[in-house]
Structure 1
């Protein structure tokens, strides 16, 4: 990694413009994803997060599928803006990470630990979010721009069909990435003292 952990955390932002120029190898990105899957914590060590990693034409296909799905659901006026955003900000990148939660694992925990049954779906989202953060930050550390998107559940069925994803995998989020071409907008940060209590 070219940045320290905290440098990457501070620099990680939503980027809405990137190219498909290879900043690092596909192998390095796959290594990052594999390490995230192996090392990111999960409730009861459930390891329920599943990931599909798409490069090149496969990534572009995902965003074409997304466009065609949205074309059927939005007005012509709305679709023009949507098409511009997806084509210029997501489909133009180097790849996309798709994040899922395996409901078979979550349902098994619900059955196995009835005292916590109502919490496991929530905790499942927690581990997925941690995977998203780890991978997004690691991509930033390697010099890649990215953003977190949520086009589910609109594209769930199309993804299952196109890439043979098991029906038990529930899509949670998408991270398109590539060489950043745009600077992020200025981030507004609310008062930290209003969000933090410290007792000594």
Structure 2
């Protein structure tokens, strides 16, 4: 049997890696980066076409403010000054990036769909999270194809209130992840894979 499958998607996904050494040497215009990410979110699937993914794009002083707030907020969560300095170094690595995308779930739509489709009510939260994951992976992959590095962080819910106050987000936008992105200033580490036989089953 001839394998005539197009595997360009796999090749693109292999380029997507967690890049932690990020810089500001990005050749693309911020407006073009925003449009690319917005277009991907618009075209990404969501359950019942709920379109529950929301995003805020931060550049310049707004990007720096996010990570300054995060660093300050984490001080009370870290047991020792030495540990805090290590944490702060990590945060400053994100701050060194070109920008950040904040990803949100629109809880108002999730709640409305729970009410409208009671038979599936227990699933809409999980389905909305799946929609976020799909959009995040697609943006991350598209960035990689354009020579832009990124990683995904989850400092929510610690910074939820700070983000809402600083960026005037609607109360129904629930922060779910932060994606710092920028020029690639260092390689990703090796990626380990579990054996396929432990992850997949096929029935013919």
* TM-score interval (norm. to shorter): over 0.9
**1:6 Cα deviation (Å)?**
3.4
2:3 is matched with which residue? none
Aligned equivalent of 1:116, options 120, 124, 147: 120
**1:73 Cα deviation (Å)?**
2.1
1:84 is matched with which residue? 89
1:190 is matched with which residue? 194
Q: Is the 8 A contact 1:42 1:124 kept in 2?
A: yes
1:153 matched to 2:157? The reply is: yes
1:41 is matched with which residue? 45
Cα shift readout 1:131-177 (whole Å, capped 9, x = no counterpart): 11111111111101110100000000000000000111001111100
Aligned equivalent of 1:18, options 15, 22, 43: 22
**1:33 Cα deviation (Å)?**
1.4
SS of match in other structure, 1:93: coil
Q: Normalising to structure 2: TM-score of the pair?
A: 0.93
1:27 is matched with which residue? 31
**1:109 Cα deviation (Å)?**
0.4
Q: Is the 8 A contact 1:20 1:92 kept in 2?
A: yes
1:126 matched to 2:114? The reply is: no
Unaligned runs of 5+ in 2: 1-7
Aligned residues: CA RMSD: 1.1
Instruction: Please tell me whether Structure 1 or Structure 2 has the larger radius of gyration of its CA atoms.
Output: 2
Unaligned runs of 5+ in 1: none
1:54 matched to 2:58? The reply is: yes
Runs of 4+ in 1 over 2 A off after TM superposition: 4-8
Residues 56 and 5 of structure 1, relative CA distance in 2, 3 Å threshold:
farther
Q: How far, CA to CA, are the matches of 1:60 and 1:137 in structure 2?
A: 24
SS of match in other structure, 1:119: helix
